[in-house]
């Protein structure tokens, strides 16, 4: 799991902007989807980032917008902590 976060972090470093969103569903195993939406300035940086994250379980890329979305599933308790810190 640690390597997955390393790959995500490296792809994030190449991005021009990054946004985090949470899903609105709590699954039966008490997890919530956390999505990282990464935007890139050109095809070259998009390609470098894609090579970092392409083997992750839940990743998709948009070639027209130069964006990559990586979804991970976090414990519901972590979601609650993140949301409490935002308030």
Q: What is the pLDDT of residue 2?
A: 53
Mean pLDDT of the region 67-78: 94
- State both tokens at 7: 């790959």
Sheet order of strands, 67-75 included: 17-26, 31-39, 67-75, 59-62
pLDDT bracket for residue 83 (50, 70, 90): confident
Extended beta strands in the chain, E state: 17-26, 31-39, 59-62, 67-75
What's residue 84's pLDDT?
83
- Specify the pLDDT at position 3: 59
Number of residues assigned to the chain: 87
What confidence category does residue 28 fall into, taking pLDDT thresholds of 50, 70 and 90? very high
Q: Give the global pTM.
A: 0.84
């Amino acid at each position: 799991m640690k390597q997955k976060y390393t790959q995500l972090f490296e792809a994030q470093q190449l991005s021009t902007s990054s946004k985090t969103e949470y899903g609105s569903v709590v699954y039966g195993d008490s997890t919530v989807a956390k999505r990282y939406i990464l935007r890139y300035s050109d095809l070259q940086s998009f390609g470098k980032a894609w090579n970092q994250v392409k083997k992750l379980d839940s990743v998709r890329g948009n070639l027209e917008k130069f964006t990559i979305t990586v979804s991970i599933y976090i414990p519901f308790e972590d979601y609650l902590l993140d949301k409490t810190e935002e308030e």
